[in-house]
A = this chain, B = another copy of it.
Amino acid sequence: MKSSHIPRATIQRLAVYVQVLENLIQNNENVISSEGLARACGVNPSQIRKDLAYFGEFGVRGVGYYVQDLLTAIKQSLGIDRTWNVALVGVGNLGRALLRHQIFRKRGFILVGAFDCDPFKIGEEVAGLEVVCSRRLKERAKDLDIEIGMITTPPERAQRAANYLVEAGIKGIVNFAPSRIKVPEGVAVEYVDFIHHLFSVAFNISLNQSKGLA
């Protein structure tokens, strides 16, 4: 296992494989060919074989992949063969939607705390969680064993939210606010930027139109 060398783009594809493999298990499909897996994931078979080579020999010649074994190996290597406790900072429209979203718990990310600095929101209950003042993050993070923070504040408050999370000893942040944040080394940051994807689609539509494809 050479997990420490998995490139970023591979991790993104592995996340897709996990999604597809979990759907296969739900449909009681226990074995899949690399071609079948490639088609379901929208990548080419040689890419899949290359990506999965990180985990040792999982393909069986003439059979394909054993879905459960492959899923277990990928999850182990990504550190998602366990659950992670997550805090959300910023209980606005998006924050509320994410607190209520089923996908996190399904994939092992348990939202255990909701934080906001707006006195009108503190004490409110959203998706079974009481909204707590962001200043209390450090104190609550220990009690709740929080390891990951999600930021859903307005962009101008994202850095402050990040500071609270870092002070609370949280080592990984997913930032949904459309602004960059600064964190010390050793804290992993990911950006979920909807607008990137809209830009990319707009660009590709323009491009296809200029090619006469659309």
Given the interface pairs A97-B93, A185-B213, A213-B185, the reply to whether A12 lies near B200 with Cβ below 8 Å is yes
Q: Are A172 and B8 in contact (CB under 8 A)?
A: no
Assess whether A100 is interfacial by the CB under 8 Å rule: yes
Shortest A13–chain B CB gap in Å is 9
Expressed in whole angstroms, the Cα–Cα distance for A52 and B185 within the complex equals 28
Which residues of chain A in 35-91 are interfacial with respect to chain B, using CB atoms and an 8 Å cutoff? 40-42, 77-80, 84, 86
Q: Which of B80, B196, B206 contacts A202 (CB 8 A)?
A: B80
For A100, the chain B residues whose CB sits under 8 A away are 93
Name the prevailing secondary structure of the A interface residues.
helix
Assess whether A121 is interfacial by the CB under 8 Å rule: no
Q: Are B200 and A8 in contact (CB under 8 A)?
A: yes
Assess whether A129 is interfacial by the CB under 8 Å rule: no
Expressed in whole angstroms, the Cα–Cα distance for A210 and B1 within the complex equals 14
Shortest A186–chain B CB gap in Å is 4
Given the interface pairs A4-B210, A171-B214, A174-B194, the reply to whether A199 lies near B78 with Cβ below 8 Å is yes
Interface size of A in residues (CB-CB distance below 8 Å): 71
By a beta-carbon cutoff of 8 Å, the part of chain A in contact with chain B is: 3-4, 6, 8, 11-12, 14-16, 18-20, 23, 40-42, 77-80, 84, 86, 93-94, 96-98, 100-101, 103-104, 107, 109, 147-148, 171-174, 178-180, 185-211, 213-214
A-B contact pairs, 21 of them (CB 8 A): A4-B207, A6-B203, A8-B200, A15-B193, A19-B179, A19-B180, A40-B180, A77-B203, A79-B205, A79-B207, A86-B198, A93-B96, A94-B97, A97-B98, A98-B194, A104-B194, A104-B195, A148-B201, A172-B202, A172-B205, A192-B197
